[in-house]
Amino acid sequence: MSWLRLLACVWICGASAGCGDDPAAGNDGSAPGDGATAIDGGSSDRSPDLSPDRADGGTGVWVSGTYSNDQGQRDYWVYVPSGYQPATPVPLVVVLHGCTVTVDQQEAGTRYTALADTRTFLVVYPVQSSLANPGLCWNWFDSGNQQRGKGEPSLIAGITSTVMKTWSIDAKKVYVIGPSAGGAMSVILGATYPDLIAAIGVVAGCEYAGQPCGPTGGPDPATQGPLAYQAMTSFARPMPVIVFHGDADPVAAPINGQQVTAQWLSTNDYADDGLHNGSVSTTATSTATLQVPNGRSYDLSRYDDQAGALLIESFVVHGAGHAWPGGPASATFTDPTGPDATTLSYDFFLAHARP
């Protein structure tokens, strides 16, 4: 394992020994395909597998699959809620797990399936291979995984496209979110596939190509912003982003959440008209300090586009560590006293359909 790969497992993880001092608990889930050709020329073998390990109280169905293209192969799981009707297109949320965290654990921490049952949308959980990373980290820090059509972004995009071909999905309402390494890879998906992904969520993650991230932060967001814009290629457009970060995170220091926001402000400034001209202001449209009843306080900053529509939301959770805000205490790397990141992110997503 390279030094950078090792540091990523220690710094940007979901539940590794290197992160063991962070508040947490534990459980996770996975998804399908049908041999249809997907984005980037891959295919997926659909093999329904209703796993009893994923009998987590949801009323829907789990289906597993494996996707492959010329960049490799990854397994995945899809959760289909009980209210799904093939005649009615529904949103899709792609959830990318953190390091050492299984799909079962990530699902239990976010409870996206419970929300999917209530709000009727599909959830897909791509699964990182231990052969690709022994710590199950998405390899966001490798330059080969930061481009369209290459590496893990290509595989995740292919899985997403396959799910869209298999079930009735509203193509303008496809979203990706993840914590830690999953958050860093969500940033990359937003930059490399803006024609596929409508909006992204980043929990305790890193800016685009933001290595080393961790305790020291990454490169200057003013540099990474235009790099992410270049990664969008001809598909460039403003990308809505919701960010959650604890201001006591010992793994991905708070500066990383600030850099995610600053990088996307810069990227979106370029993406709306091709120019770095302040059309997306770096000054928040509104700021507020709010309180979770019997829980943590947090700062909420909102940034609008040049038309006055909400583009970026940033939550800084006071006293929170490297954890999913609002997740149950029984799950891995969650902070039950924080704001409900799952519901807040989904509400943000639904307000941002892809043009």
Which pLDDT score, from 0 to 100, does residue 28 have?
27
Place of tokens 């965290």: 101
pTM of the model: 0.88
Tokens of 55: 């009998």
Query: DSSP class of residue 238?
Result: -
pLDDT at 36: 34
Map residue 149 onto helix, strand or coil.
coil
> Which position has the token pair 């891959």?
42
What is the model's pLDDT at position 59? 79
If one counts every other C-beta atom within 10 angstroms of the C-beta of residue 128, the result is: 28
**Cα gap 240→265, rounded to integer Å:** 10
148 CB-side CA count, 13 A: 19
pLDDT of residue 345: 98
How many residues belong to the chain?
A: 355
Distance of CA 323 to the CA centre of its chain: 14
Using CA atoms, how far apart are residues 32 and 15, in angstroms rounded to an integer?
Answer: 26
Asked: is 3-350 a CATH 3.40.50.1820 domain? The reply is yes
pLDDT of residue 41: 56
Angle subtended at Cα 208 by Cα 231 and Cα 16, rounded to the nearest 5 degrees:
135
CB crowding 165-195: b at 16 or more within 10 Å, else e? bbbebbeebbbbbbbbbbbbbbbbbbbbbbb
| pLDDT value, residue 44 | 59
Low-confidence ranges of the chain (pLDDT < 70): 1-41, 43-58
Are the beta carbons of 99 and 82 closer than 8 angstroms? no
